[in-house]
Structure 1
Amino acid sequence: MKGLILLPLALLFLGCGHPPGATEAAVHVQASYDFRAGCIVVEAHDKDAPAKAQSQRIVVKGRLPPAKVDIAVFRGADWGRTLAITVTAHEQKCDGPEVARATREYTLEKAGVETLEVALSATDADGDGYMAPSSGGTDCDDSDKESNPGITTEVCDGRDNDCRNGVDDGLTFSDYYLDEDGDGVGAGAPVHACAPSSHYVALSGDCDDKDPARFPGNPELCNGVDDNCAGGIDEPFTQKGQSCSNTGCPGTYVCNSAHTGTECNALPPTSYYPDADGDGEGALGSAPQNVCATDPVPAGKVTNHTDCDDLDAYNKSTGTELCDDRDNNCANGKTDEAAVCAGKGWKQLGSPTIPTSHGWNTVALGTGGLQVWIAGLSGALIYRGSSTGAFTDFNQKCGNINWNAAWVRPSDGSVFLAGDGGSLAMYTANAASCTSSSTASASNTPSSRPLQGIIGFESGGTTTLYVVNDEGAFYSWTPGDAPTLKFQRSSGDPYWDIHGVTPSTLLLAAGNSSSTADIHSYNVTTDSRASFTLSGVPSANNGTVQGLWAWDSTHAYAVGKKGLLLWWDGNATWYFFSPDPSMKVDLNSVSAPDAYSAYIASQDGKIRRPVVGGWVEHFTATGALKDIAASSRQDIWAVGNGIVVHFPE
């Protein structure tokens, strides 16, 4: 009997007219397959005598599908003409698991070769040559070519690589912990694995797995955090929280900025210096008051001491030099440098600026100093209506009166005069006539005593004047009406001056029989009078008050004989204020546009101003000065017998 042979077939010699012999007929089995088979086995036997069989094994491992094999099948000499042919495919090798089978019957009726096509199919999804169990194969995971029985080494990859004993069998397993913050120490429930997955580590015990700066074994810093997960905070730094001090200022030990240790958080004390004038600079050379940060800032003090004149808010180291005869920028006592006055300065005026020389008693200024009125003996009266130029002479325009005091109405610059014989006058520059009156014709208690002071107020289109005389009488006068006596001192002692910014707070320079300082107040609205207490006046300086000036309703200066200088802050007491009590020159008049600008006309012809270190002597005239008026520190006038002084001129 012929066996099975692989094609090509040997040439067959065919007989004619009789059934073919065993070698005269054959079946050409063409077996195709669509998977990576290891072996194809073709078996043929006599259908009626199965024991009469032959088979052929064909190793096809390594062939890529689709593929086919060709085999010639001959019947044995003693076989019947009908053959049973079975084709099987095997995994990996010929004795491997059968994964596909096809069985056919074929009868050889005539000589020659007949073709029998057989198609085999098995599942090998991952193409690794190992079939799925559904096809009879041994692949434990037909979706993964890295898992099949042909792999001999198990690796840690979460797979059953060798398809024996399960996933990752034979490997060493350990516990791993999720490390969310990447600091090398994990936390939470362990994962038992042969190798750590991403973000998993072998160490556990992280007390804060959201913070990479906190984990066991980390050095503990001084930062208020449990860096080493030891259950404490800043435990090596035992000094933290204890009391400490810095130059007497209390504090507590806290972590330093490098977090490597502790330091005392107490700030050193701040030195404060008196700033009496409120200009933001403390007095040069003054003693400091050391204040801790936990204590309140002392009132009236600042942290610098650069002010060369702490009684003058217009003088300080950061000031801008102006034309005011002051050291505004604290330039070693230099005043008005850098040509800020453009050649002007203090000047005693004469002809032709002053048309005639008279015994001048009083000077008064309009708003902003634009109107200047000067009056004096025998009806002397001159006027300047601009900042420069000559005065206009209105001599005796309001009579041959010794004028002792003047006030200028802000609304129109008209002057109001008070003088000997109780005379009163109102005059507008270049008017044809003067409006005159006299306390001698008062509607009640007439008096022809000399008037010494005058002040006026405008309200609702009406101007009201208040005047005082040398017998202590106080009159009011509305031009067009007769003067009215408001009150008179029972002692008959004089009033030498009157000033104030409201009719409810009028200040009166009062004389007395002992020729000592005395100041009264009068409220026109309530018709009430009061006497002030004087504090700290040395007996050597206790002279009669000659003049006073208020720049608001609660502040004023007063001056008098023997170098008397007093200060008022709105309360019931005036205070002695002289920077040098040894200076006992009679002070005749004061004008103070503000607290730092008390300009004083003196009997010795000097114009003085008090400062920290003593008296500033701005100018010395040729004789005694009787009155002074300043619209500002940059516009000052003073007069005396035949003397008119102006700054700047």
Structure 2
Amino acid sequence: MRLFQVGVLLLTLPLFGCKTETPVTEGALRVFITYATFRPKCLTLTVVDVHDASHTVSGEVKVEAGRLSDTRTGVILEQAGWSRDLRVTAEAHEGSCAGPIIARQSAEARFPTENVTDLGLDLRAEDLDDDGYFAAKQPYPGTDCDDDNAAIHPGATELCDGIDNNCAAGETDAPGETPFWVDADGDGHGAVGGLQAFGCVAPAGYAPSDDDCDDTDNDVHPGQAEFRCDGRDDNCDGVTDNDPFLVGTACTAPLGCAGVLTCQSASASTCISSEQPVEHFVDDDGDGQAGYSVGLGCTPPEAGATRMNTDCDEGSLVVRQGRTEACDRLDNDCNGQTDDGVAGCAATSWNEQTELGDVDARFDAVAVYSRGHGWLAGAASQVLHVVDGNVTSVTGCPGEWKSAWAANNGRVFLGSGAGRFGTVRPDELPAPCEDFGSGHAGAINGMVGFENEEDNVVTLYAVTSQGRILRWSYDDGGSTQQQPTVLAQVPANLRAIHGLDVTTLLAVGSETVSGVPRPVVYRASANGTTWTKEDLGVSNASGFLNGVQVLTPRLAYVAGDGALLLEHSRDAWTRLPAPTVAGGATPNLRALRAFGRTALYAVSSEVNDVHFFNGTTWSTVTPSPATLNALGGSGPGDVWATGHHGTLLRWTP
């Protein structure tokens, strides 16, 4: 038998249309390699001797670049030493002959001794997107990880778009990858200066920012509200304990002291100040010097307050630093001593006069209009005009006089138990009193007046036992007079009224509650037409309030039964110490006259003494030969007391 020649001649020819014969005189094996719907970069043909695998030869089958379908022909010639039984394998490669096999077909053939034997091999592979890279499908997978997208294949530019564009290592090989930082506490923020990694998406345990100032606490990171007041920067903005704690921010502490916000606890900050508050004082009595304490503060607790305390009695116009000491039981110069340096003051006694009018005279009202000048009025039509030591009995003023008030020109106004008014002026004496009816029968127990010097009109306010509050405007010198009018009627038996003007009027007396008389105070509105009951804070007290004295718009005193003495300072009523008398009895205070916070006079029912309150303690300043009913005076150095048996006591040092 003839042996094959050494070597194999692989001749590849394109076949177009019909099959062509290859002119070969000796035997040959002609191989037709057909492929369709893909563009192989390389075709190879391998021939193996079935009986001796060491007899193998391969060769490249040339393809026409870019052709989608084709048939290539290879001719296998006789090879010396080989058997005639051959296995012929055609393979298509991706990219190059060294690339992965994407298609393969094998067939066994017997080499002819003469003429040509044809063998057909058909190759199939998928490159659906025609990008030159083949689907990674078995049995011969290519390298294209997405054969539906021509932009995705090995060698493509990797992008950070969530797709493995180059079919290698996901997106980790994308140029210009995003940096990520280790996020140990898992709060979505990487540690400042922490370990860095790159990628299109954050690797596990990494975050896209390196702005976490504490990567050990997942409550601490940018965007977090400051939630602890602890000296830590919870939101990593470079400031510790800012909003809402605002630590270190200037603030105003209690009492107006400048401070800074400081952590009070883990959940709150507070304003802490190193300033020391000081006591402030105001001028309540209008004498130009401040002495009423409005409390501690680094700034004035109220408008006009000062740190200088230069007035030791904010209820008296004759007490303040810089004044000259006078004999009046007041510390006029605020040096801590009373009546010091005033010769003979301590020995000054009360001038006692009795049986004025007659031995049975009872005076229930006194009205002093200047030093040493005043009026006494009482039962049985008793009316006296007093000028120093001279006493003039006034006739023609019939009535049971319960109250009196005198104008600066000396004109006296009287209120009777029958609800009538009387008036007379000193320069008209011995003329009788003018007489006016109030229109009501209740006793006029108290009155106070305010003068208008421009038109000589005096406006009187009076109270009655039937709870009426009357107003009467008297035109001094006028040919006709208006009739008194009722401003209001309250459910009380009213005994006294006082004020500096209509806006400060207070009316006092008693109301009946469950059959028990209770002390009561009514305050006037701005025009005096509305009266409001005050809360005195003494619900257990009983009896009447018999006297009232308004010293300033912010200071007033009332006194009554059961030794009740109340001070109204600013907006509050306070009960003051009660006087005690021999035997321990509780006296009823029948009248009150105040000249300041440290100079209050009262007369009582149990003893005939004149009581004095210096703001702290009570004392007796003079005994009386008879019961006293009324107090008056033009000032702290001109005090009058009157009552039964025609008694008049005066202290006028």
TM-score normalised according to structure 2 size: 0.47
Q: TM-score scaled to structure 1, two decimals? A: 0.47
